[in-house]
Structures are given as C-alpha cells and as structure tokens.
C-alpha cells in the first residue's frame, strides 16, 4: 500500500457463492488514499468478486472488509458503503436504466436520501468532473455513444462522492483513442480529485501506463501484489495467472543472458537501454 492513510482493510477474506463455488480464499490487503491499482487475472480468478466485496455488494463468508471504519458485514450498512466505494459496471448498459442523463446521475444520491436541492448540486458537480455538458442532461443515455455512456455511468457513481472508485474493464471494446480518453479521465480523478482508483482489466498496456500497483489474482487467491514494475518482472509467477507481460517486457526477459533487465515496461525504456549499450 502506498497511500498515506488506509481506506479499506481486508483481512482473511473468504467468499463462497451460494452454489458452493469458492471465489476468494484468505485475501489480505490494504488499500490507501490516492492509489491507482489494477486487478488482473483470468475470468473466474476472483477479480470481480473481490471488487463486489470491497463495496459491500457481497458480505464476506468469513474474514472481514472494513471500509473507512465500517464493517461490510453490519446490517443495513450498504447505503453507507456505497458513499465510500463506488463500483462502475463493465458494461455501462447494465447500470444505466433511467430515461435521462440527469435522472441517471441523480438516482444514487436520491436513493440514499440526499435532499433534492443537494441532489442538484451533486449532479452538476459530478457531470462537470466527468465532462458531461448540460446540453445532454435531458437526453436518453441509451442513445449516447459508448464512451459517453461510460462517463454517465461514472458520473452517477461520482454523485455518491465515494473516495474509492472501482471500474470494471473500463477499456473493453473501446479503441485506442477512446481508451486513452477514459484512462486519462480516471487518472485525473486520482491526481486532481484525490480519489483512489481500482481498475479491473485484461489489457496490460493499460495497466503499465496507469497503475502504480498491480494485484494479480489466480483461483481466488492473491498471487502477486506490489508495484507494477515488480509484478511484471516475475514472468514465472505471473504465468500461473495466464497473464503475459507486454511484448517489450518479454523481449527483455528472454534476453536476460545478454544482461537485459526483466522489468522494462515500455518501448521508450527499451530504446534507451539499446541506445546505451550500442553507443558504447
């Protein structure tokens, strides 16, 4: 954990689905303020289940999740937890169901009993941060393009003013330009608004470019948890998650016998290493 203050404390968390499937085993982790974390691993590795435990959608089968002092096992706690940890669904269409952008963003605050005059203030604030202009407040979310729908989904979470925001596969199905836009927006939320951001993703270039910390899950357990560069420098451990480091990282790892380091994350870093070696 790199943040100054612990926001979420996970201790010996186990989660078993009603059908008996063990989804999480003995998870211990701390999440701090202003972190940017990536959860990686195959489908079924526990990433989404863990995220739903972090925001109280799922109560632990055993162990505990303490969110800013609140135990997610407590009765009737969910309306408080959602104001601490927001969860943005992978497909914004699973989340958006109101008939206007305004009602969509206002839904969360209204649901937790925020008075209507403050609801308006929160909607305007969330829309501004998410870059949603007033002209589309009365439009139906369904008719917006996917990037904009995702912003509306995020704004509806922001309106609950959680400090931690979990975004499930923010870039799936988006092209490169759209991915950069959405990721830069999440980075801004961390850099300028002091949120902690957790992304669940399969896209390693995104992890490397944005996440300072990476948590690799496999069969419900945490296999690796640390600075992104360290996590990707361990290809043999990572292989158990079926996640491959980026191509340029793998190139360095396969040239270890020629003294190339195993933790090169980007093409410019690799160019620099080749440049130094070749100009000698």
The residues binding another protein (CB under 8 A) are 42-43, 145-146, 172-178, 202, 242-244, 246-248, 250-251, 254-255, 258-260, 267, 270-271, 274-275, 277-278, 280
Question: What phi and psi, each to the nearest 5 degrees, are found at residue 233?
Answer: -85, 5
DSSP result, 36-69: EEEEE--TTSSHHHHHHHHTTSS--SEEEEEETT
Nearest CB to another protein, comparing residues 174 and 233: 174
Going by C-alpha positions, the residue among 167, 160, 174, 157 that lies closest to residue 37 is: 167
* Site of tokens 């191509």: 247
CB of 154 to another protein, least distance (A): 19
Nearest CB to another protein, comparing residues 107 and 210: 210
CB of 146 to another protein, least distance (A): 8
Nearest CB to another protein, comparing residues 131 and 275: 275
Cα(270)–Cα(208) distance, integer angstroms = 14
SS3 content of the chain, % helix, strand, coil (to 5): 40, 20, 35
Cα(43)–Cα(224) distance, integer angstroms = 17
Nearest CB to another protein, comparing residues 117 and 279: 279
CB of 271 to another protein, least distance (A): 5
Nearest CB to another protein, comparing residues 57 and 260: 260
CB of 183 to another protein, least distance (A): 14
């Amino acid at each position: 954990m790199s943040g100054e203050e612990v926001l979420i404390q996970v201790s010996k968390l186990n989660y078993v689905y009603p059908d008996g499937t063990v989804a999480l085993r003995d998870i211990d982790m701390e999440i701090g303020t202003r972190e940017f974390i990536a959860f990686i691993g195959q489908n079924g590795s526990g990433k989404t289940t863990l995220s739903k435990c972090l925001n109280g959608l799922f109560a632990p089968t055993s162990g505990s999740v303490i969110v800013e002092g609140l135990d997610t096992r407590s009765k009737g706690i969910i309306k408080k937890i959602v104001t601490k940890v927001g969860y943005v669904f992978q497909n914004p269409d699973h989340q958006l169901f109101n008939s206007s952008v305004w009602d969509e963003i206002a839904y969360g605050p209204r649901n937790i009993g925020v008075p209507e005059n403050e609801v308006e203030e929160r909607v305007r604030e969330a829309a501004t941060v998410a870059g949603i202009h007033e002209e589309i407040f009365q439009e139906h979310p369904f008719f917006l393009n996917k990037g904009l729908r995702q912003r509306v989904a995020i704004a509806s979470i922001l309106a609950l003013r959680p400090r931690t925001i979990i975004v499930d596969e923010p870039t799936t199905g988006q092209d490169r330009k759209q991915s950069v836009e959405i990721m830069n927006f999440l980075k801004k939320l961390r850099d300028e608004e002091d949120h902690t951001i957790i992304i669940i993703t399969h896209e390693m270039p995104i992890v490397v470019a944005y996440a300072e910390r990476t948590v690799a899950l496999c069969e419900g357990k945490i296999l690796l948890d640390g600075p992104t560069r360290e996590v990707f420098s361990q290809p043999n451990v990572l292989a158990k998650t079926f996640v491959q480091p980026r191509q340029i990282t793998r190139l360095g790892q396969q040239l270890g016998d020629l003294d190339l380091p195993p933790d090169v994350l980007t093409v410019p870093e690799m160019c620099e290493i080749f440049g130094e070696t070749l100009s000698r």
